[in-house]
Amino acid sequence: MLSTTIIDGKETSRKTLQSLAEDIEQLKRQGHTPGLAVVLVGEDPASRVYVNSKVKACEELGIYSQKWTLPTETTQEDLVKLIRQLNADERIHGILVQSPPPRHIDEQAVILNIDPRKDVDGFHPVNVAKLVLEDPTGFVPCTPLGCMELLRSYGISPQGKHAVVIGRSMIVGKPMAHLLMSRQANATVTIAHSRTADLPALCRTADILVAAVGRPGLVTADFIKPGAVVLDVGINRVEDPTRPRGYRIVGDVDYGSVQPLCSAITPVPGGVGPMTIAMLMSNTVKACKLACGM
């Protein structure tokens, strides 16, 4: 049986934030305080939790933050007006509009109105292009960026490896593929999705497997090449009457059957998740540095 390294996202996140705190102190000594505005439209409970955790992380690091909580009936026009106000606010270096917004809001139109220099989520077309062009002045979506930081922190090099990414979203799958195939990582990348023929067979060719499709327990032992590295991006609620809240959080990977076959794996929770907020803070500090010509 293989000895499996459990990739600890909580500890890696802690170290990342500790390093960022030192950067922030140095920026403050030079008269610059990074600023992040987080905008929430509507009453979605999960979104409220995410927004509050981001604001809390700002407070702990010494990042200036603004939290805008708007009612569900907020119009597209009023939301765009707020974004333009934040674009012009010199105290704000990063703007994040929590996803998903209410149905009447055109999310893509919202993203297009964010100044790309403040788009710390990395969703604006300008930043997507910079990712593809490997322009270091762009912003990369936080979750795939966190995955790359986990690999780096654990000394796992994608160089020359075959990476399979299950999922083709603009939030995780596509940017993850670009990061893995970049000149810094040099992996050979295959993107798989719901229409991929014989998905388990394809995944068994992967040295690095990234599961980012939002289907609990999709990846089972028959997907795994012995010794593969598995990054589980999935965060899914499944009913569990034995738990106080009536549910538990699981990933896209059936951890029990897959873990013994891997050389390294991220658990859920405690793997990729904590890195997402850490990378948001990192992008905000980067935005501040770029705005200050550093």
Residues with a catalytic annotation lie at 54, 98, 121
User: Do the strands 247-250 and 236-239 form a parallel or antiparallel pair, or are they unpaired?
Assistant: antiparallel
Residue in 266, 218, 271, 190 with CA at minimum distance from that of residue 13: 271
Residues contacting residue 252 through CB under 8 Å, at least 6 positions apart: 166, 211, 212, 213, 214, 215, 216, 217, 218, 219, 232, 233, 234, 236
CB 132 within 8 A of CB 76: no
- Whether a cis peptide bond, with omega within 30° of 0, leads into 100 is yes
- Whether a cis peptide bond, with omega within 30° of 0, leads into 226 is no
> For 123, phi and psi rounded to 5 degrees?
-100, -15
**Cα–Cα distance measured from residue 199 to residue 108, given in angstroms and rounded to the nearest whole number:** 30
CB 232 within 8 A of CB 208: no
Tokens 């083709």 — which residue? 168
Cite the beta strand spans of 13-116 per DSSP E: 35-41, 64-70, 94-97
